[in-house]
Amino acid sequence: MKNFFLLTVFFFWSVYFSGNIFAQLNYPQNYLDVPNTREDYFYIKDLREKWIIDVNENFFPDDFITRAEFTKIVTLWTRWIAYDKIDWFNPFSDVSVKDWFWPYIQSARYYNFIFWYPNWDFKPWDFIKRWEALKIILKSSWLDLSYEMNHYRDFSDSEWFSKYANSAYEYWIFEWEVWKNWLPQWYFKPWNSITRWEMATWFSRALKLSEYNK
């Protein structure tokens, strides 16, 4: 009887806690600035439910995302935080142990998801470019990168990031087309910065395809 009573109390406590966790955090269950009428709503919701992106009131979907923020998201997804390697050699001249993004950048560097610029900078506050973000997403998702056929009009197949863009095209991770004379003209715009909603869309699609996610 005593065990039954304890189990009953534990059951109702669990239900109450799980149902009120967001209320206790004082945040809504969805972002206030991401209504369900947006095409990217379910992708953003997917990352939020996985706790890969922060649970705040707003997501600011149309803002650009910085290199530090993006690195944190990738690290939270892979759960590859190299605690025993974080204090190991720091190659970045503009990343300090006092920075909030220190463990994420150090871990991503240790696992070769990110590299430094020729002057040893990481540029954590710069907005990440589309080709940079795509490369990291595909590498961290462990997807096949053997697709070589170039589908885009704004870069040649000799560009080093060509295999990433064309692989993403084959996986339908993103699409970017402009119609001209009733025909689609495909553009990747590799040197543009990536928005937060684009990041969520690409990442969510890649994760659904990743063997690492199963």
Residues contacting 5, CB < 8 A, separation 6+: none
Q: What string of DSSP letters covers 119-177?
A: TS---TTSBPBHHHHHHHHHHHHT----------SSS-TTSTTHHHHHHHHHHTS---E
Residue 8 to residue 151: CA distance in whole angstroms: 59
pLDDT above 90 as % of the chain: 24
**pLDDT band of 26, cuts 50, 70, 90:** low
- 86 Cβ contact list (under 8 Å, min separation 6): 102, 103, 106, 107
Rounded average pLDDT over 119-135: 90
Whether the CB-CB separation of 116 and 54 falls below 8 Å is answered with no
CA distances from 65 to 6, 8, 22, 53, 152 (A): 48, 46, 25, 12, 24
| Rounded Cα–Cα distance for residues 96 and 76 (Å) | 20
For residue 191, which of 133, 124, 131, 137 has the smallest C-alpha distance? 131
Average pLDDT taken over every residue of the chain? 77
Q: How confident is the model at residue 190 (pLDDT cuts 50, 70, 90)?
A: confident
Q: What is the pLDDT of residues 92-124, one digit of tens each?
A: 888 888 899 988 888 888 777 777 677 788 999
Higher pLDDT, 140 or 13: 140
pLDDT on residue 22: 44
More confident residue, 181 or 35: 35
pLDDT, tens only, 54-95: 888 899 999 999 999 999 988 888 765 655 555 666 778 888
Mean pLDDT confidence for 39-44: 92
pLDDT for the residue 87 = 62
More confident residue, 45 or 190: 45
pLDDT at 195 over 80: yes
111-125, 146-160, 170-184: which has the highest mean pLDDT?
111-125
**Which of the given ranges, 17-21, 36-40, 159-163, has the highest pLDDT on average?**
36-40
